[in-house]
Amino acid sequence: MERCNHASAIINGDSTSPTLVVIGGMDKRDQLFNECLLFDSITTGQYICRKILLPESVTDRYSHSLTAVTMSPHCVWLVIVGGCGEFRIKDVGGGKKVPWGTYITDTNRLIMIIELVYSEAGEWIVQSVLDGNDLTSKNYQEKYESYSKTRTWWMDQLIEYPTEREMKLQRYIQSLHEDLQVAHESKVSLQEALVETNKQVEGDDSNDIMRSVLEEMRQEHEKLIEEKQIITEDNEKLKLKAAEYHKEEVLEEKTQIEEKQQIITEDYEKLKLKLADMKEKEKQYLKEKQIIIDDVQNLKIDISEKDKVIAKLTSQVEEQSQNEKQIITDLTAKVSDSELYTTKLMKEKSQLQERVTSLEEQSIKETSSIGLQFNYLIPSMDKLDCLSDVQVAERKLFLIQGDKPQLMNWEKYGLRIGVQKESLLFSETVEAAVVALVGGEFQFPANTVLVSAVYAVSLSKPLLKRLILEIQHCVDLTGRPGLIRHLKFAIAPVSTPSLPYQFSLVEGGEFKADSWYGSIQRKEFCL
């Protein structure tokens, strides 16, 4: 049976051989043994193993302690304490995995008692299982008090009421002690009588009286010596008899002790192997811990370097922010001028339309030989009049003047248009028309979904460099940079022979995790 980290105890009952109880533990694959085993007749070498059913709250643990408390000749309490209830391999990062156990902290499982009773059928059975709540109940206190009194009486009986064999041997030894005491007292009395006789015959010249007294004393002394010899021999015989009487029991007890020693030796060897394994695991753990410490140190160095880069980038961002503020200030001034210029252009547009109307009427009246040619700038907004079946949120006109960089911000509808430096000549002005669409007959590529508004952009005259379009989307990329690769720009031609507008994906867009805008550079414009 390959098992480790289990708990075991020996239980003894009246007229039963010792029984080994094993609860819980793990196998060689670090899987929990959810069982309780009883090994009967372990002193004979031909033990019988059987399982007893216990709740998982008792058996589903390892590295715990177990002790057996004999409450009566036919009742034993198994007290199980602590241990771990779960074992797994934990990933600590960096590709490192270490064994990880979870200690049992539930007060209902921390300390539990299993009550075993010896049945008339000659086997141990489970009477009850007590958890943490049961141990604090009134019924348990009364039950424990009753068992405690019974156990105290039972232990006293073993002392006060020995077996008949032991009582007989004790009486015989007591009798021998009494005989020795009588002999000792007789000897003392004779010595006292001798001293008294010596006092009485002191100064008497009668040798016959002295010899008579001495002879009596000698005979009495020899008699005492013989009695003492008899008592000593009887005592020795008694010792031999007692030794032979207990020889069988001693041999049996010795056999049991040797078997217990064998079990202890085997457990000790298992513990040595377990300790060696634990030391090896500890060595491996320390090695992995050092690797983790080295990795953490390297990460700290990398973080320090990145902090320097971040500080540098922050400085650059602040500098760029100042530049942008200056650009915005310049653009604000230009917007004011642009508004005046727009008013002027709108007035000129109206005049041109009136002139075109007048010229058309005039051309009807004139002969076919007469031809007129008109060269004028078509406003960019007129180019977007071909849009059909769309829902327009708002239209906006922007003016692009000169060769300086500009930024046109339509924040209301999430659109920013950037003009690069030298996109126009110093003296040129171009009109940019933008229409924000919130609906229409649009068809997008399969497995895609629209996450921004749709914009139609038109220029009254091509630029020398590409415009930078920045469009706001509704996807939160904070902490999720992996979503960036799923965002794409899509375009569709403004003029189409039939609806719906067919959108197709284009490459070249850029999205950042810390921004709600995506940007793309375009020279030709459409939806």
- CATH classification at residue 443: 2.60.220
Q: Are 64 and 131 part of one and the same domain?
A: yes
- In DSSP terms, 19 is beta-bridged to 11
Measured distance between the N- and C-terminal CA atoms of the chain, rounded to whole angstroms: 76
Cis ω for the linkage preceding 500 (within 30 of 0): yes
Dihedrals phi, psi of 185, to nearest 5 degrees: -65, -40
| For range 79-85, the mean pLDDT | 90
**Residue 58 belongs to a domain:** yes
Residue pLDDT, tens place only, 245-265? 556 666 777 788 778 878 888
Q: Are 49 and 126 part of one and the same domain?
A: yes
Q: What is the largest CA-CA distance in the chain?
A: 208
pLDDT at 369 over 50: no
| For range 489-517, the mean pLDDT | 86
Q: What is the DSSP letter of 73?
A: T
CA distances from 384 to 140, 356, 395, 489 (A): 90, 20, 10, 20
The dihedral through the CA atoms of 358, 360, 364, 367 has a sign that is positive
Q: What is the DSSP letter of 384?
A: G
Domain boundary among 210, 240, 269: 269
SS3 assignment, position 109: helix
Q: Are 153 and 182 part of one and the same domain?
A: no
**Residue 431 belongs to a domain:** yes
Q: Are 142 and 26 part of one and the same domain?
A: yes
Mean pLDDT, rounded, of the chain: 77
Q: Are 434 and 494 part of one and the same domain?
A: yes
Look at 170 and 411; give whichever has higher pLDDT: 411
Domain boundary among 269, 287, 318: 269
The predicted structure's pLDDT at residue 371? 25
Q: Are 42 and 176 part of one and the same domain?
A: no
Residue pLDDT, tens place only, 124-139? 888 888 888 888 888 8
Both tokens assigned to 415: 């659109």
Q: Are 122 and 92 part of one and the same domain?
A: yes
Q: Are 118 and 22 part of one and the same domain?
A: yes
Confidence of residue 164 (pLDDT cuts 50, 70, 90): low
Residue pLDDT, tens place only, 2-50? 788 889 998 876 546 788 899 998 888 888 888 899 888 776 667 788 8
**Residue 453 belongs to a domain:** yes
**Residue 183 belongs to a domain:** yes
Q: Are 155 and 200 part of one and the same domain?
A: no
Q: Are 434 and 495 part of one and the same domain?
A: yes
pLDDT at 144 over 90: no
Domain boundary among 99, 129, 160: 160
**Residue 277 belongs to a domain:** no
**Residue 288 belongs to a domain:** no
Q: Which range marks the domain in which residue 62 is found?
A: 7-160
pLDDT at 370 over 50: no
**Residue 425 belongs to a domain:** yes
The predicted structure's pLDDT at residue 479? 85
Q: Are 149 and 242 part of one and the same domain?
A: no
Look at 197 and 102; give whichever has higher pLDDT: 102
CA distances from 74 to 18, 71, 77, 168 (A): 13, 8, 11, 28
Both tokens assigned to 443: 């068809």
Number of domains in the chain: 3
The predicted structure's pLDDT at residue 500? 86
Q: Are 460 and 432 part of one and the same domain?
A: yes
pTM of the entire predicted model? 0.32
The predicted structure's pLDDT at residue 112? 92
**Residue 332 belongs to a domain:** no
